[in-house]
């Protein structure tokens, strides 16, 4: 089944500019007899799934009772209570019609969601059904349509139609760009006010540039830190503005920091494979960093898929008899793909086979398609919120560095993307010793001889924190004290980018178990303690533990073999996807 695409739905919405016809159809109370009582019937037929008659009757009865009560309240001019934040503005409660339409929508949404939850199907199929229903439910909110959004109507009246004119202009601009604007993109420039930590590019090949950052302290820890970010997005999520830059923070703590800046693939890289990202990417970066620093051991770092790449690279090197890692830090990383959260709705045999056929002779997975996929995971926040603000109310999106980065998408080589989908998300081979051959070598993650710091985000919808925790049993399986797990508040990105200086949010640790490693995430959480503020100092303490002695900071970047090429952030990060 093809998953609903909220960005495509929004594009259709834009072409009609809030035609309420679809909404009016949605708002009809479901007939409570025969097949019409189960509006999911066509969807369930695709999966060969169904709902037990007794459960369906229970859901129908509950719906009828609530619908009758809502209608009675409306006839008695009693304003319904709207607890959803989409309808929290006073304009919704001020208008009985708007309040009733929002309440009716919420009731119908509850009905559809209850049906999805009641479906009897295989877990993966049920997840797809649940996801598809949620996409439709979110898309049909009356807040998304001019004809049914009292906030937008009030704005139009107060501005004498100027908000409508501006909204149309915003919509047309976005149609030309092919995506919804989430931030004022004119406010940022890579290298000027994001990705500004000083440094030099000291190596480059067709796949990446290697940045060496300028030390901020007179002395540094002898063991350098090599950071491998995800290739699905650009590295400067770790180096946004100075006040929330993780790179700046670790440099200021006395680390010599190297960063991989992946090239944004064009047609010249359309045949690049996963092996290339491991061998010519991560392993080459390790080789160059060791040569420049003069150190045999490095503190290794991987974020998201960057963590999957660097872990695979270290396993390949271990099989070759090399152990270059003094430590390994993995942030929101999957090594065991048993639980991939909602992303699993996009990965099955049929969908992967389609991609493999598409890229059988090479090609590029467009960055905009990847961005659309991730937006669909949180459509209310990443799609419909901007439809309402930018188009219905005619407002300009604010300047927000994280969302500017989010829109700066990257392509992926088709062969690499297909290998990644099949061998990790679909068949979950990486967790099994010697099941995969990468760069001509069998991979066993358990052979990596390095202490590990693993971070997960509590509300992560891309890498569920329990799935991040699963790496604890794959790495150093015989050494209970070698690994440390820290859980941060918030999501996949906001949880990571939580500056120590702002002292916001919280994090959890569990250091009570001594030599006994909790076997499950639930066991770990049961003994965990919550701490206010950022988890960054916890990570810095881990780096310091494995950073070696303090030595004079290098006076210049690179060495005789690897000389400075250009100033950070370099050329590669500035290349935008077509």
Q: Please give the positions annotated as active site.
A: 304
* 3 state SS of 120: strand
Q: Per residue in 124-142, is it b (16+ CB within 10 Å) or e — as a string?
A: ebbbbbbbbbbbbbbbbbb
Place of tokens 């004022």: 184
Which strand (E) or helix (H) includes residue 529?
Answer: strand 529-532
List, in sequence order, the alpha helices (H) in 76-148.
Answer: 90-94, 96-118, 123-139
Going through 123-256 in order, the beta strands assigned E by DSSP cover 199-204, 208-213, 219-221, 225-228
Distance, CA of 204 to CA of 239 (rounded, Å): 20
Best CA proximity match to 329, nearest among 298, 302, 289, 290: 302
Asked if residue 357 has a cis previous peptide bond (ω within 30° of 0), the answer is no
Residue 68, both tokens: 């009758």
Tally helices (H) and strands (E) across the chain. 22, 17
Neighbours of 31 (CB within 10 A): 10
Distance, CA of 483 to CA of 469 (rounded, Å): 11
> What DSSP character marks residue 455?
E
The answer to whether 200 and 570 have CB atoms below 8 angstroms apart is no
* 3 state SS of 119: coil
Distance, CA of 128 to CA of 342 (rounded, Å): 8
């Amino acid at each position: 089944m093809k998953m609903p695409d909220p960005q495509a739905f929004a594009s259709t919405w834009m072409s009609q500019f809030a035609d309420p016809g679809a909404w009016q159809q949605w708002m009809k109370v479901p007939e409570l007899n025969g097949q019409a009582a189960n509006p999911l019937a066509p969807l369930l037929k695709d999966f060969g799934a169904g709902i037990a008659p007794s459960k369906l009757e229970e859901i129908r009865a509950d719906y009828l009772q609530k619908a009758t009560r809502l209608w009675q309240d409306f006839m008695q001019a009693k304003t319904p209570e709207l607890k959803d934040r989409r309808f929290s503005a006073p304009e919704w409660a001020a208008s009985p019609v708007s309040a009733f339409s929002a309440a009716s929508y919420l009731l119908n949404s509850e009905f559809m969601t209850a049906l999805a939850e009641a479906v009897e199907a295989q877990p993966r199929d049920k997840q797809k059904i649940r996801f598809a229903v949620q996409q439709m439910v979110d898309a049909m909110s009356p807040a998304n349509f001019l004809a049914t959004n009292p906030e937008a109507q009030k704005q139009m009246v107060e501005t004498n139609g100027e908000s409508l004119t501006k909204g149309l202009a915003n919509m047309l601009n976005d149609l030309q760009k092919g995506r919804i604007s989430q931030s004022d993109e004119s406010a940022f420039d890579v290298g000027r006010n994001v990705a500004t930590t000083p440094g030099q590019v000291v190596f480059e090949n067709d796949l990446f540039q290697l940045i060496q950052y300028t030390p901020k302290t007179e002395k540094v820890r002898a063991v350098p830190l090599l950071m491998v970010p995800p290739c699905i997005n650009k590295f400067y999520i770790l180096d946004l503005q100075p006040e929330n830059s993780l790179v700046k923070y670790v440099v200021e703590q006395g680390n010599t920091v190297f960063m991989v800046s992946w090239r944004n693939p064009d047609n010249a890289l359309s045949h690049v494979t996963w092996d290339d990202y491991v061998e010519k990417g991560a392993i080459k970066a390790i080789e160059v960093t060791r040569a420049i620093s003069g150190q045999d051991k490095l503190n290794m770092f991987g974020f998201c898929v960057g963590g999957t790449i660097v872990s695979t690279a270290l396993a390949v090197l271990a099989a070759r008899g090399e152990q270059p890692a003094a430590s390994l830090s993995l942030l929101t990383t999957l090594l065991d793909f048993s639980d991939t959260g909602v992303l699993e709705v996009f990965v099955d045999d049929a969908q992967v086979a389609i991609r493999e056929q598409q890229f059988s002779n090479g090609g590029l997975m467009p960055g905009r398609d990847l961005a659309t996929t991730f937006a669909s995971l949180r459509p209310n926040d990443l799609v419909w919120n901007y439809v309402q603000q930018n188009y219905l109310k005619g407002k300009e999106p604010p300047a927000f560095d994280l969302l500017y980065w989010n829109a700066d998408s990257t392509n992926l080589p088709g062969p690499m993307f297909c290998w990644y989908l099949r061998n990790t998300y679909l068949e979950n081979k990486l967790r099994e010793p010697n099941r995969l051959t990468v760069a001509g070598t069998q991979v066993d993650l358990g052979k990596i001889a390095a202490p590990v710091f693993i971070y997960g985000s509590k509300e992560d919808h891309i890498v569920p924190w329990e799935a991040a925790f699963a790496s604890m049993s794959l790495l150093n399986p015989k050494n209970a004290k070698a690994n440390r797990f820290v859980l941060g508040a918030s999501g996949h990105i906001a949880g990571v980018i939580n500056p120590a200086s702002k002292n916001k949010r919280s994090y959890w640790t569990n250091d009570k178990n001594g030599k006994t490693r909790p076997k499950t995430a639930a066991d770990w959480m049961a003994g965990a303690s919550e701490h206010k503020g950022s988890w960054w100092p916890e990570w810095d303490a881990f780096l310091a533990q494995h950073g070696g002695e303090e030595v004079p900071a290098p006076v210049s970047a690179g060495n005789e073999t690897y000389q400075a090429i250009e100033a950070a952030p370099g050329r590669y990060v500035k290349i935008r996807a077509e």
